[in-house]
Structure 1
Amino acid sequence: MDDKINNHASCSSVPDEGVISVDLSRDIVVDSMTDMTEAIISPNLISTDYSVDNEEDSTKLTLAYEWLYEVPRTIVDKFSNHIKYLDISHNKITNLDPLVHFFHLSSLIADHNPITENCALPPLPKLELLWLNHCKIASLYPWVGKLKESCPNLQYLCLMGNPAAPSYFNGGTFYEYLQYRLFIISQFPLLNHLDDRKVTDDQRTEALRLYKRPFLERLVSPGSRGGISQLMQAPAKWNTVHGKLNSLWSKAKNRNLLI
């Protein structure tokens, strides 16, 4: 699986165009945004070598740089029953629902698409590798919870370049990066690699320690009467909540974590 991480090559951007259909009989992509000349589909998209010697290649499909706004139904019908590795990077895709038909999908590359936290993945129980680098995901909650339900067996996850993945490159502080990383690790027990680094045993232990209880429970003192119900019924006091949050993360600052 590590080879998959090293095999994905980046390319330059393409013009912002749209696609409404793929006509396999004419080998063309129909442009929905302009009246320009129709673009020719690469032969690789409409033919695959199914020989025994090329069995591995027959399970891989790339739709990168095809100006797509969604995965065309013709592609789904032709390839979904056997594809395990799918590359849809560098498109304009915001709807991932058609992927539900890819029953054997284990690797999905969807970098450089305008995917936001409102775009949920359909159930993909066999998915082990997911790349969503440089998309438009601005909030982890409740998006990560939905991702966990759809893809419970993720082992490799990359979210670099998203607003919700703070780093030095997008203005995030070290402790924002730390919170983000530990939260993601706590949600996926099989995760071996997050972004550009392996998940260590120390990180997993700390992630489970910090996130073993629901978020609201950690804002309420263990000995307080009423627990969560008391917090929910009481008048909102941001200063109190803010103080609780600072207290939680100050403990993480003082721990020696191998990041």
Structure 2
Amino acid sequence: MDDDQSYIHSYPSVQPPPDEGVISVDVSRDVLVDSMTDMSETPIPPDIIASVDMTNENEEENGRLTLAYERLYEIPKTIVERFSDHVKYLDISHNKITNLDALVYFKSLTSLIADDNPITENCCLPPLPKLELLWLNRCKVASLYPWVGKLKESCPNLQYLSLMGNPAAPSYFNGGTFYEYLQYRLFVISQFPALNHLDDRKVTEDQRLEAQRLYKRPFFERIAKPVGLSQISSSATWNSFQNKITTLLGKDKPNNRNLLI
């Protein structure tokens, strides 16, 4: 490692001691070692190092780091030390990561792909004010509240968010109902004013207005005058209700049913 690279002593400890199964990285030998499974030493893919060879003329192209499918329990300290100042796009999908505290050092991060990790609602992201894209598909987030509020505090400028496949994101695929899906969608939209795209579709202005109406009113006012999907359906004919839902979902034709909800 170059002399001008300083060791990050304050890097948070997020895993048990090395003898309890933490994957370690030895860049001097370019290998990953997993003491839990006693797997043979596996070479680090060359693109992990080469793709983040930060040169002035190629910084925009090389600010991408992929650690997908590496059987990691945490983001290795060596990777944080070497690349955190420069990486803008980080892919840590398909690993065993449950704690994202190490991301506090990725000051330039704008895109994070963390699909297929056992991340739950107990995992809070550190402050990432530059983060615009976050994918947490097929993780283990089971409850939106208060997790979404904490996510908003950490990532206030999110424009693209995908939570598909989580228990907290109802769909027909995980046993959710149509109403649960719509309530989930409007609640998440209400928390992120700059959000342009949620899950598999764009956020429409109608959805933003409805989210504001349902979830931005004072808490006690909502209790006194509850307004929800059940009230909408009971106070309107089916045709008007269907038109309302069609508008909220950004459909041009009522018959174009979304199979993902």
User: TM-score surpassing 0.5?
Assistant: yes
Partner residue in 1 for 2:168: 164
Alignment of 1:178-257 (within 5 A): 178-221=182-225, 248-253=228-233, 254=241, 255-256=244-245, 257=247
Q: State the Cα distance separating 1:21 from its structure 2 match.
A: 1.3
1:142 to 2:146 alignment: yes
Unpaired runs of 5+ residues, structure 1, are 1-17, 222-243
Partner residue in 2 for 1:258: 248
Q: State the Cα distance separating 1:39 from its structure 2 match.
A: 1.4
- Aligned match of 2:47 in 27, 44, 47? 44
Question: Secondary structure of 2:248's partner?
Answer: coil
Partner residue in 1 for 2:29: 26
Q: Is this contact kept in 2: 1:116–1:135, CA < 8 A? A: yes
Structure 1 CA distance for aligned equivalents of residues 133 and 231 of structure 2: 32
Q: Is this contact kept in 1: 2:54–2:86, CA < 8 A? A: no
Q: Deviations over 1:169-200 (max 9, x none)?
A: 11111111000000000000000000000000
Q: Is this contact kept in 2: 1:19–1:67, CA < 8 A? A: no
Structure 2 CA distance for aligned equivalents of residues 57 and 122 of structure 1: 25
Q: Deviations over 1:25-73 (max 9, x none)?
A: 0111111212231111112223333345533332110000010001011
AA matched with 1:64: A
Structure 2 CA distance for aligned equivalents of residues 88 and 75 of structure 1: 12
Structure 1 segments (4+ residues) deviating >4 Å = none
Structure 2 CA distance for aligned equivalents of residues 117 and 51 of structure 1: 38
Q: Deviations over 1:99-151 (max 9, x none)?
A: 01000100000000000000011100000000000000000000000000000
After TM superposition, the score normalised by the length of structure 1 is 0.80
Structure 2 CA distance for aligned equivalents of residues 173 and 141 of structure 1: 19
Partner residue in 2 for 1:228: none
After TM superposition, the score normalised by the length of structure 2 is 0.79
Corresponding pairs, count: 219
Identity of aligned residues (%): 74
**Bigger mean CA offset, 151-160 vs 50-59:** 50-59
Structure 2 CA distance for aligned equivalents of residues 133 and 258 of structure 1: 23
Structure 2 CA distance for aligned equivalents of residues 71 and 133 of structure 1: 19
Structure 1 CA distance for aligned equivalents of residues 182 and 232 of structure 2: 9
Q: Is this contact kept in 2: 1:24–1:46, CA < 8 A? A: no
Q: Is this contact kept in 2: 1:31–1:39, CA < 8 A? A: no
Question: Secondary structure of 2:25's partner?
Answer: strand
